[in-house]
Amino acid sequence: MRITHVGGPTALIELDGWRLLTDPTFDAPGRRYAFGWGTSSRKLAGPAIPAAELGRIDAVLLSHDHHADNLDDAGRALLPAAGAVVTTAPGAERLGGNARGLTPWQSTRLEAPGRPQLEITATPCRHGPPLSRPLTGDAIGFAVHGGALWISGDTVLYRGVRDVASRLTIDVALLHLGGVRFPVTGPARYTMTARDAVELCRSLRPRIAVPVHYEGWAHFREDRATAERELAAAPQEVRWLPIGEPVEL
């Protein structure tokens, strides 16, 4: 497996001849985006690789379509050229076209001549505190190829995420971190902290944990230095991918 961290939640994954792209965000930095209910954030860093230089994309794994830090305008523009877009059921209805909607623990298969089938299974996410789903909307994570790769998606640590450890054997885990908070909602968090990730890794037991989505936006509350100190306690190897460079895992 080869992963290129493009920036934020966006990564190019090359596995068994397939080229998968997670949560495409390719806008230039500087703009402020509204997330709804009085929340917003400014993009601070652009992608390490322009969308036009990615090459073939067989599928986009889109945790949710309604927040610009997971799908911005430039990312949205590349969706029609992808072979498939796998996302939430409400997101697939909004996007139409080549989008496939999944609810947690539903699966879909990618098929192409000369390549093995690739099964994608949606895993649970809760993008905020209890009872926040009507405000934050649906999100999902993804288990690829039976757990060869697991992408947490934007989620807090809760029972649904812990269920992944009891149902799947994970090799490489891409963990969305950052401990997101907004002034208007006080101490409520909307993504995992690094301490949450350590707790999750103790039960998940991946071979390698890869932090993503911890930088590049103003709404993150834990930077890499803070996360590194906490993740030093993780029982597995933690790999910080250099932005824009392919890494074999």
- Give per-residue pLDDT as tens, 42-64: 999 999 999 999 999 999 999 99
Confidence band for 180, pLDDT divided at 50, 70 and 90: very high
Give the SS3 label for residue 176: strand
Provide the domain limits for residue 73. 2-238
Confidence band for 188, pLDDT divided at 50, 70 and 90: very high
- Residue 249 in any domain: the answer is no
- Residue 6 in any domain: the answer is yes
- Residue 153 in any domain: the answer is yes
- Residue 53 in any domain: the answer is yes
Reported as a single tens digit per residue, the pLDDT across 191-225 is 999 999 999 999 999 999 999 999 999 999 999 99
- Residue 208 in any domain: the answer is yes
**pTM surpassing 0.85?**
yes
Q: Give the burial class of 53: count Cβ atoms within 10 A of its Cβ; 0-12 exposed, 13-18 middle, 19 or more buried.
A: exposed
> What is the CATH classification number for the domain harbouring 72?
3.60.15.10
pLDDT score, position 38: 86
The tally of domains found in the chain comes to: 1
Confidence band for 37, pLDDT divided at 50, 70 and 90: confident
- Residue 32 in any domain: the answer is yes
Contacts of residue 166, Cβ cutoff 8 Å, sequence gap at least 6: none
Q: What are phi and psi of 90, to 5 degrees?
A: -65, -35
Mean of the per-residue pLDDT values for the chain? Answer: 96
Q: What are phi and psi of 96, to 5 degrees?
A: 65, -155
Alpha carbons 225 and 140: distance in angstroms, whole number: 27
Confidence band for 69, pLDDT divided at 50, 70 and 90: very high
Take residue 142 and report the two structure tokens written for it. 């993804």
How would DSSP label each residue in 198-244? HHHHHHH--SEEEEESSSSBTT--S-HHHHHHHHTT-SSEE--PPTT
Percent of the chain whose pLDDT exceeds 70: 100
- Residue 143 in any domain: the answer is yes
pLDDT score, position 36: 86
Alpha carbons 92 and 144: distance in angstroms, whole number: 19
Take residue 93 and report the two structure tokens written for it. 């209805």
Alpha carbons 92 and 85: distance in angstroms, whole number: 8
pLDDT score, position 52: 95
pLDDT score, position 226: 93
- Residue 105 in any domain: the answer is yes
